[in-house]
Amino acid sequence: MNIAAFHSNGKLLITGEYLVLDGALAMAVPTKYGQRLEVSLHEGFSGIRWEAKVLNKGWLQVNFGSRLFNIIHTNDQKMALHLKNILKKAFDLASISVDNQKGIKIRTNLDFDKNWGLGSSSTLLSNIGYWLDVNPHQLARQTSNGSGVDVAAARSDSPIFYQLVNGEPKVTSIDFNPIFKKNLYFVHLGKKQNSSNSVDSYKKKVKASRQNIEEVSVLSEVISKTKSLFDFDKALAEHESIISSLIGEKRIKETYFNDFDGEIKSLGAWGGDFVMATYSGDERDLRKYFQNKGHQTILTYADMVL
C-alpha cells in the first residue's frame, strides 16, 4: 500500500465512441484537468476517512469503520456505497485484508466540474490503482461497464489509440499535434450524460456490423494523421454520420447548430458533455455564436489538451 499522492488525467474521446466497445480503434486525448488523491496514516482513529472535493470545495465525506468497510457516517449514502464497492474490489485485487485497517485518511480533489464528463470515475479508479498497486483496467472491469479507454487516457501524458483485442486493452501513444489545433475548440453543452446508462442502452439496442467497426477504425487513423482542417472536417462528418445511423439519433450539429460555419463532433456519449467544434474564423465570432446559444464554457485546444 503506497502512502503518497497520485494524479490521473481526465480524457476526451475524440473518435470511436460506442464502437470502441465492439473492438473499433478509438482515439483519446488526456486533458490538463484531472484528479489528485492523497493518502496519509493517522494514529487517532481506525478505518478509512474519505474526503472528496471538487474544485477544492467539499463534495463527499465517508467514514469507514475498521471492518469490512462498514459505513459509519456519510453525507451521501448512494455515493458512499459506490465507493465502498470500488474499495472492496481494489483491496481484493491487491490481496489486502479489509479488516482492521487503521487510520487511513484519503483526500481527493477533482480540478474540473464533475458535470464536464472528463472522467471523475476513471481518474478515481486510476488513482486507487496507483495507491494499492492494482491494475486499473482490472478494477474498472469489476466496477463499471465501459471500454476502459478513459482509464488508459488517465495514465497517459500523450494522445492514444485504444482498442479492445480479444477483450484486452491495447494502448498505443500517438503523435496527434495538428497544425490547425488553433482552430479546434471544446464546447460544453451543459447536459451531463450518464456514461454507464449510455453504454447499457447501446449494448441492449445496437448491433454494430464488422463494416461499421472497420470504417470507424479507419477514420480514427485518418483523423489522427490528416494535415488539413478541410480533410479533418470531412472525416469528422463521416464519423458522425456512421454513429448517427447506428444509434438512430440525429447529429448534434443537425439538431442544435445547423447554421454553424464549421464542423461539430460529439465526444463520448451523445447529447451532452463536451463537443469539439472546428472553426477557421475569428475566435471571438465562435465564442459569440455559442454564447448566444446559451453555452458559456468554451475551451481552446491549448486550454484543454495536455
3-state secondary structure labels for all residues of 233-265? HHHHHHHHHHHHHHHCCCCHHHHHCCCCCCEEE
Is residue 120 within 8 Å of residue 138, measured between CB atoms? Answer: no
Phi, psi of 9 (to 5 degrees): -90, 145
Per-residue pLDDT of 238-248, as tens digits, reads 999 999 999 99
Task: Check residue 193 and give its pLDDT.
Answer: 64
| Helix residue ranges, H only, the chain | 77-93, 120-132, 136-143, 149-154, 195-205, 210-225, 229-247, 252-256, 283-292, 301-304
What number of helices (H) and strands (E) belong to the chain?
10, 12
Is residue 240 within 8 Å of residue 265, measured between CB atoms? Answer: yes
Report, as ranges of residue numbers, the positions in the chain whose pLDDT lies below 70. 1-2, 98-102, 192-193
Per-residue pLDDT of 54-101, as tens digits, reads 999 999 999 998 777 899 999 999 999 999 999 999 999 999 876 656
**Distance between CA 287 and CA 306 in Å, rounded?**
22
Domains of the chain: 5-173 (3.30.230.10), 181-304 (3.30.70.890)
Q: What is the DSSP letter of 174?
A: -
